[in-house]
A = this chain, B = another copy of it.
C-alpha cells in the first residue's frame, strides 16, 4: 500500500465507532461547560473515573482506583494472576484542552479489551488498562503523578505542595476519597508487568506531513531548558552610534538565530525553541540594556541532546563575548530521554504492517507517562495522526478513520504480543 493510500479515509470498524463515541462522551465531563478542563483530584476527575470504570467492567475487566486516583482495569489471561501487558494513558487534561490527548489511548485500550472479551478470547498473559490521574501536572506543578505512583517513584514530599487555592495534595486526596498513605502501596513490581504500551495522538505535524495514520515512537525525547540573561548597556536610541552599542536585545536576537541554525543543521531530530523573550527597559527609543529569553532543547537521545546543548552554550558565550555582553545561563529543567524498547517497537511495527500501513518511526518530542513507566517496565508508544499537529487546544482533532486505525493496530499488538 502506498503512503497516499494509507492516508485516505476508510470506513471505520465497530472499534473506531466506539472509540470516537466514547471520546465525546468523556469530553462532556468538564469543569467548564464551554470547553474541556479536567484537573487532578476534582469532582470532574472522579466522575470521569466512574465512567471509565463502567466501560472497563462492561469490557470484562475488574476495575478499581489506586492510591493516587489512577483507574486500574484488569482482564485476566488464560488463568488468573498472570503477569500483564499494561496499556494506558492519562485521563486528566490541561485547561481548555482537546478531547484526544490522553483519553484516546485509554479508551482505545478498553475497546480492544472489549473486543477480546466479546470474542471470549483469553491470552497467555493478563491485559491491564491504566487511566493515569495526573499526567499534565496542571494542579500541583508536578507532572506524571499517576505513572510515578505505578512505577514506585512517587515522591512523598509533593503531598505537601499546594494548588493555587492553597489546598495541599494531601488534603485534595482525602477530599477525593483516597488515603495518601496508600500511595506507596500502589506501586507495581517489575515482575507484574511484561511491558507498558501507550497509544497517544502525535501532538505534532509529522504524520500528517507524511500522510500516515499511525507511527511507531522511537523514543520520548529528553529536554533541557535554560533561562538566558544578557546584560549590556542601555542608551538613547538616537545618540549612541552603532559601533559604541552594547545592545542586549541585538545580542539575544543573534543567540536566537544561532540556536535555530544549530537545530536546523542537525539531522538527528534535535529541536530548539525560544518561546519567551523580554527586553528592558523596553521602550521604543531606548537601547535595551537587558534581555532575557528561554531555551528548550530536545533530541531523541541524551547523548545528542547533551552534545547539542554544550555546542549551544559555546555559541551563546561566543556571541556574548564578541558583543561585550554579560551572559548568564541557568538550567531550569532537565529530563532524560526514554528510548522505546526495540523488541516492543518491532512488535508494533509488525502490527502496523499487518494492518496495511507503512512502518514509520518518529520520536516523541512531548513528554508521556512512559517517561515514568520505564522505571518499572520496558515501554513503547504508538502515535496516531492529529489534524495540523494541534494539541492542548479545542481544535485538537483525530479523524475517525485514524482512531480506527490506531485501534486495529493496538488490538493486533495485544493479540500477537510475545513477552520478551
Contact = CB atoms under 8 A, between A and B. Distances in A.
Interface of A: 202-206, 209, 221, 223, 225, 235-244, 247, 249-250, 252-254, 256-257, 260, 263-264, 266, 269-279, 281-288, 294, 296, 298, 332, 364-367, 389, 391-392
Contacts of A282: 275-276
Contacts of A238: 204, 221, 223, 271, 296, 298, 364-367
Q: Which 8 A-B pairs have the closest CB atoms?
A: A238-B365, A204-B239, A253-B256, A237-B273, A239-B365, A253-B253, A284-B294, A237-B296
Contacts of A283: 275-276
Secondary structure call for the A interface: mixed
Contacts of A263: 242
Given A235-B205, A237-B298, A287 B260 contact: no
Given A253-B256, A254-B257, A284-B294, A237 B276 contact: no
Contacts of A254: 253, 257
B277 A296 contact: no
Contacts of A239: 202-206, 364-366, 389, 391
A239 B279 CA distance: 28
A397 to B, nearest CB: 15
Contacts of A294: 284
A285 B296 contact: yes
A274 B256 contact: no
B275 A287 contact: yes
Nearest to A297: B237
Contacts of A205: 235, 239-241, 244
A9 B272 CA distance: 53
Nearest to A263: B242
B274 A250 contact: yes
Nearest to A274: B249
Nearest to A226: B284
Contacts of A260: 242, 247, 250, 253
How many copies are assembled? 2
Contacts of A237: 271, 273, 275, 296, 298, 365
Given A250-B260, A260-B250, A236 B275 contact: no
Contacts of A244: 205-206, 209, 389
A284 B271 contact: no
Given A204-B240, A206-B241, A296-B237, A275 B285 contact: yes
30 contacts: A203-B236, A204-B235, A205-B240, A209-B244, A225-B285, A236-B365, A236-B366, A237-B273, A237-B275, A237-B365, A238-B271, A238-B364, A238-B366, A242-B264, A242-B272, A244-B389, A247-B260, A253-B256, A253-B260, A253-B274, A254-B257, A273-B284, A273-B286, A275-B279, A275-B281, A275-B285, A275-B287, A276-B279, A276-B284, A277-B279
A257 to B, nearest CB: 5
Nearest to A252: B253
B257 A250 contact: yes
Among A237, A240, A247, A277, the most chain B Cβ lie within 10 Å of the Cβ of A237
Contacts of A275: 237, 249, 279, 281-288
Nearest to A294: B284
A138 to B, nearest CB: 13
Nearest to A250: B260
Given A247-B260, A273-B284, A277-B279, 14 more contacts: A204-B241, A205-B239, A238-B271, A242-B263, A242-B266, A243-B264, A249-B256, A249-B275, A250-B274, A253-B257, A257-B257, A275-B281, A276-B283, A277-B278
B391 A236 contact: yes
